[in-house]
Amino acid sequence: MSTVVWAFGSLQYNPGKALLDGIAAVAVARIHDFQPQGMSMLTWGYGKLDHAPAGELLDQIAHRLEMDVSLYHHQAVSNMFYSLARLQKYNPSMCSAVETHVTTHIEDFSPQELMNILWAFVKFRFVPEQFIETLLEYVHNETRARAFRPADWAALIWGLASLGVTVSAEAMAAINNSAVEKLLSMTVPELCNVMWGLSILDECQQPLFAEGMSQLLDKHQQRSMEPRLLRQLLQASALAQAAGVPVSLPETVEKAAAKCGGMGRPAESGNPGCGAT
């Protein structure tokens, strides 16, 4: 059962609501027969398909994750929590349990898994203060920081800004020093997340902001920017100028952004990419 839904998710093939809901109904009846790996595969499959099945399955999964989080492999915790957020199954007790577990065992999680978890907290609008504090300590370690991909740094900055947390000067310096080395490898959406995040965090004076903005204003980058990204570039520029950081956008960029409706919502973090279990 879990393998079937996992396979549908892996292939990104949606067999239809009737079949997916039918599988969910059977899964609820046999929920106590599932091992942690099977539960993780089932959740990931539904998340990948963006299908929230009718019935109690997601409530049961959230409850199992809350009560038995220590029984799950770190990748399974990340994938399940991310998938439940994607399916908008909010459970504050589950969030607290996951926060406590991940904070205690943060060394077991990869940067991508941690960013999946951060993304989920943002989607749940749940501010995990313990987790954030431990995560910021985590990135201080140079060895760990080197394992962060460009997408991970973009997701981290976007997540911190989206949660509205305060980042210490020491932690911000560590993020800046490591992330700036990955700027050249960042995609346009990732750069937009970084620019928007830094402007919201009032960190536009960081070298990361200046260098990232320079890349975004490159002619080749401009041609590849979608309307929503242009809006975020305009928003980041306005916030930077309000903070006394001069930013000069080319007239073509300002006009293009204005046609798209001016400032809008922050660019969606493209990171997490829930990995297969």
Q: Is the pLDDT of residue 149 over 70?
A: yes
C-alpha to C-alpha distance for 139 and 142, rounded to whole angstroms: 7
Residue 221 pLDDT > 70: no
Across the chain, what does the average pLDDT equal?
A: 90
The 3-state DSSP class for residue 50 equals: coil
Mean pLDDT of the region 132-155:
94
Contact call for residues 242 and 276 (beta carbons, < 8 A): no
Query: Residue 222: is its pLDDT beyond 70?
Result: no
CB-based contact 269:154 (threshold 8 Å): yes
- Report residue 277's pLDDT band, with 50, 70 and 90 as the boundaries: very low
Q: What pLDDT score was predicted for residue 157?
A: 97
Q: Does the pLDDT value for residue 231 go beyond 50?
A: yes
Q: With bands split at pLDDT 50, 70 and 90, how would you rate the model's confidence at 216?
A: confident
Domains of the chain, residue spans: 1-106, 110-277
Helix (H), strand (E), coil (C) string for 150-194: HHHHHHHHHHHHHHCCCCCHHHHHHHHHHHHHHHHHCCHHHHHHH
Q: CA nearest 131: which of 95, 173, 164?
A: 95
Q: Which residues contact 159 (CB under 8 A, 6 or more apart)?
A: 115, 118, 119, 121, 122, 197, 269
Residues 186 and 208: their CA atoms lie apart, in Å, by 12
Span of 133-147, 193-207, 212-226, 257-271 with lowest mean pLDDT: 257-271
Q: What percent of the chain has pLDDT over 70?
A: 90
Per residue in 80-116, pLDDT tens? Answer: 999 999 999 999 999 999 999 999 999 999 999 999 9
Exposed, middle or buried: residue 51 (CB in 10 Å: 0-12, 13-18, 19+)? buried
Q: What pLDDT was estimated at residue 219?
A: 56
The proportion of the chain whose per-residue pLDDT surpasses 90, expressed as a percent, equals 77
Tell me which of 178-182, 189-193, 230-234 is least confident.
230-234
Count of beta carbons in the 10 Å neighbourhood of residue 63: 15
Nearest residue to 155 (alpha-carbon basis) of 203, 210, 194: 194
Mean pLDDT of 208-219: 86
Q: What is the pLDDT of residue 1?
A: 84
Cβ contacts of 111 within 8 Å, gap of 6 or more:
144, 147, 148, 149, 152
Task: For 226, list phi and psi in degrees, rounded to 5.
Answer: -80, 165
The length of the chain in residues reads: 277
Q: Where are the alpha helices (DSSP H) in the chain?
A: 2-11, 17-29, 36-48, 57-68, 74-86, 92-104, 111-124, 129-138, 142-146, 150-163, 169-179, 188-200, 207-216, 219-223, 227-242, 251-259
pLDDT at 264: 47
